[in-house]
Amino acid sequence: MKTRNKISNLINCMYNTLIIQDIIIKRKIVLLNSTKKIHNSLGTILFLCVIFNLIPVAIGGTVIPGLRGTGAYTLLVGLMFGVQTVLIIFYFLFNTQSKISKGLLVIFFLFIISQPLTLMIISLKGLHINNLDYLNIFVRIFTFGTLMLALSTLKVSKKGLYTFLKGVIILALIACIYNMVVNFQGIFNILSVKNPYDVNFKSFYINRNSFGQLLILGIISNVVIFLDSQKSKLLLLSFFLFSFNLLATFSRTALIILLLFTIIFVFFHYRSKLIIGFIMLIPVITFFTVFIINKSLNDFIFNILIREEAGIANRDDLWLLGIEVLNQNNWIFGVGYHTGIDLLNTKFNNTQFHNSYIEILVGGGIFELALHLTVIIITLKKVLNIIKKDRLVGHVFLSAFFSIAVYAFFESITFFSLGYVGSFFTIFFISLPWLYSNYLDDINNRKIVNII
């Protein structure tokens, strides 16, 4: 009798234990699924931020061509930036699951004091300060605070990442179609163009450089989605449309960066499969071979695209002025971003130094450049972490990083700045690698064995 009772109690105990374990497992699965939904939605949130920042640019490029440079444009840009900031702060407050690292807080503090120190030093020298530089102090607090600090505690799943990348592809497709419709006659007679400066195939953007930047990011996004077993005809068509429209921008820098990205990606991702890598380069080699052999195409390349006589389009004069400004003022802290642009505009009637490194040096000196490089190096470590767990995405980010580092020598793409370009590039090259790396680390720590 006692033996039966013991067996019965043992069975009941085992049964109750199994029920409890089943409940725990189900709750953990529900929690994991709900967490995945949270991680998925962040990709949509970040893409919406890009769209909001694009609105002033699109209006200035289509409906009101003279909008840029006016107070109304600045106000609209600020309004869209405010919407972005509120979106990310609310998402952070309700979804954060970890603490901000002390190292990032130190970098954040240095970013906060950098521009006030700059403005204080140049004011003592009697240099006129652009009022936007005072506003820029607060802009940098919110951009770094949201796109770096807040997002560093969050995660984006692979589905969330792909949602963002697909959004970029769709946006680039819409921009290409709009460009081809609005410039129908000119764009299909592209080979008859005698002077690249007589045409401006820019879609709904204010200038063709911004359009070219979107196309580059569209191609990079397309590579990830296409190679990850989704080789659809639409994505192939997208490659063609993006490349054709990029060619129509006559942006030599963008075309070189696209070629550089392709070569670097093939080297990293297919170096153990040389045959596949060579096959992937065949279309690029064929494209350039046909252009060189055909005389009319050859003339088009050397006279319209390469424009050897144009050199680097007087960019060296802009760079030398930047160095001159630093020599006359302060190499350590610079003169302020908008104040530096005022000095450039006074002499060359230009609003960009066409060199991100010079622009950062003029804006905040060696101190500011060191902060940017620190963030980039830390982000690069995140990319290397991604490669260990997701080779395709990691190699695309790594190739994009090297390509954009070269691109930055010829164009201005400062991170953590106000507006469309600053937000888009910061999200794409800084925020996304952090978010996806965090997610992969989280998944690695949540093995099914550990859950059970």
Of 5 and 393, the structure prediction assigns the larger pLDDT to 393
The per-residue pLDDT for range 51-70, each reduced to its tens digit, is: 999 999 999 988 888 888 78
Residue 448 has pLDDT above 90, yes or no: no
Please give the pLDDT value at position 148.
Answer: 92
CA–CA separation, 370 and 374 (whole Å):
6
Residue 451 has pLDDT above 50, yes or no: no
Mean model confidence pLDDT for the chain: 82
Residue 10 has pLDDT above 60, yes or no: no
Residue 293 has pLDDT above 70, yes or no: no
Element (H, E) at 86: helix 71-95
CA–CA separation, 294 and 444 (whole Å):
53
**Among the ranges 29-43, 146-160, 406-420, 434-448, which has the highest mean pLDDT value?**
146-160
Please give the pLDDT value at position 372.
Answer: 94
| Tokens (6 digits) for 295 | 């005389």
Asked whether 401 and 429 are in contact (CB, 8 A), the reply is yes
The per-residue pLDDT for range 377-393, each reduced to its tens digit, is: 999 999 999 999 999 99
| Tokens (6 digits) for 181 | 């419709």
Q: Which residue has the tokens 């991170």?
A: 415
Residue 275 has pLDDT above 80, yes or no: no
The per-residue pLDDT for range 296-317, each reduced to its tens digit, is: 555 555 455 555 554 455 778 8
Q: Which of 198, 284, 216 is nearest to 253 (CA)?
A: 216
The full set of domain ranges for the chain reads: 2-451
CA–CA separation, 430 and 428 (whole Å):
6
Please give the pLDDT value at position 307.
Answer: 52
CA–CA separation, 55 and 435 (whole Å):
25
DSSP letter for each residue of 355-375? -HHHHHHHHHHHHHHHHHHHH
Please give the pLDDT value at position 171.
Answer: 96
Asked whether 56 and 67 are in contact (CB, 8 A), the reply is yes
144-148, 190-194, 436-440: range with lowest mean pLDDT: 190-194
Asked whether 199 and 186 are in contact (CB, 8 A), the reply is yes
Please give the pLDDT value at position 25.
Answer: 44
